[in-house]
Amino acid sequence: MRSVYKAARKNWILRLYGSLLIGLFSIFITAGLSLAEAVECGDVITTYTKPTNDLNCSNHDDTALTLKEGSKLNLNGKKVIGNYDINCIEIAKENDGAKVWNGTVTQCDNGIRVRSNHNLIISVEVRDCDSRCIRIDGDENQLKNCLVSASGRQGIKINGGSYNKIFSNLVFDNCRDGIEIDAGNYNLVFYNHVEENGNIEACGKFGNPRDPEDDYYYKPWYYAGIDILLDSFRNKVKHNRAGCNLGCVGSDDFPCTAHERDFWDENVDNSGNSYSSTNVWKDNRVVCKNAVPEYSPNPTIE
């Protein structure tokens, strides 16, 4: 009799736990479904948001989506479409710890503009932007597994930021530099594939002028796949693959001999001799053999 009681109690406990688990699972499923919602142009994201719609802001006159501190934007495979006068996604200044992932951002001024620190951008396709596809002004941000292409200036630009990590991105067909560090320190640029930047077609698409008096003058001899500008110190550029990034693209108005400039440090002279650079370049590889190479510093040629 005692054994029968124990068996009955055991079955009752198992049924109770089973009911609780089913109930909790249902709650999580319902909560998850309720988190998916439509977004509109101009929305400010303050919590976890999972859009159910593509967002077309071609007629909008301000930032398409703004992320606040700690917010998370799961693009859910959807597109954010802007216009060439607005930023499509902006992580606002002094709003740290946001996350964006899993979608497409296109036809913007800056595709994603990061103005704060400790943010994460993963697996986003950003393309066809008038200025930069991704611009980072803050510190300790991470950019991983993104596809970045066809900007009117740089694909990815770190503008004065430090301790940012740019990992495993595909960056190609941008008008100017693929990845550029401007007055930034202690940034890490690892395992990216950077190809066919300094792209004359992308420049022409966005009407980059050839008049030297214009501030936005396209300087076809000036760009590189990965480029570290003056006053940028102690950055590390390692294990990247680059090819067919043209530092000079000829035209009828500007004839020049095409040469390949894949990795470039303005703190290193044209012979690869360091005179003031503290940047570290290591185990980078060149994978394109279609142009006369010009390297500084010299990577491994595959």
What digits encode the pLDDT tens for the residues 173-219? Answer: 998 999 999 999 999 999 999 999 988 788 777 766 555 555 555 56
Residue 52 has pLDDT above 60, yes or no: yes
Shared domain for 28 and 85, answered yes or no, is: no
pLDDT at site 10: 52
d(Cα 119, Cα 100) in Å, to the nearest integer? 8
Shared domain for 1 and 123, answered yes or no, is: no
Shared domain for 2 and 62, answered yes or no, is: no
pLDDT at site 200: 77
Shared domain for 198 and 120, answered yes or no, is: yes
Comparison of pLDDT for 174 and 287, the residue scoring more: 174
Shared domain for 46 and 16, answered yes or no, is: no
Shared domain for 73 and 91, answered yes or no, is: yes
Residue 114 has pLDDT above 70, yes or no: yes
pLDDT at site 29: 45
Shared domain for 109 and 202, answered yes or no, is: yes
**Domain of 131?**
38-301
Shared domain for 26 and 46, answered yes or no, is: no
Closest CA to 133 of 280, 143, 216: 143
Into how many domains does the chain fold?
A: 2
Residue given tokens 């296109």 in the structure block: 106
Least confident of 113-127, 219-233, 279-293: 279-293
- What is the secondary structure of the chain as a DSSP string? -HHHHHHHHHHHHHHHHHHHHHHHHHHHHHHHHHHEE---TTEEE-SEEEESS-EE-TT--S-SEEE-TT-EEE-TT-EEE--TTS-SEEE-TT--S-EEEEEEEESSSSSEEE-SSS-EEEEEEEEEESS-SEEE-SSS-EEES-EEEEESS-SEEEES-BS-EEES-EEES-SS-SEEEES-BS-EEES-EEES-S-HHHHHHTT----TTSTT---TTS--SEEE-TT--S-EEES-EEE--BS----SSS----EE--EEETTB-TTS-BSS---EEES-EE---SSEE--BS--EE-
pLDDT at site 69: 96
Shared domain for 284 and 250, answered yes or no, is: yes
Shared domain for 19 and 145, answered yes or no, is: no
Comparison of pLDDT for 300 and 123, the residue scoring more: 123
Residue given tokens 């607005």 in the structure block: 86
Shared domain for 102 and 146, answered yes or no, is: yes
Shared domain for 120 and 191, answered yes or no, is: yes
Least confident of 27-31, 201-205, 251-255: 27-31
Mean pLDDT of 17-24: 52
pLDDT at site 249: 55
Mean pLDDT of 151-177: 96
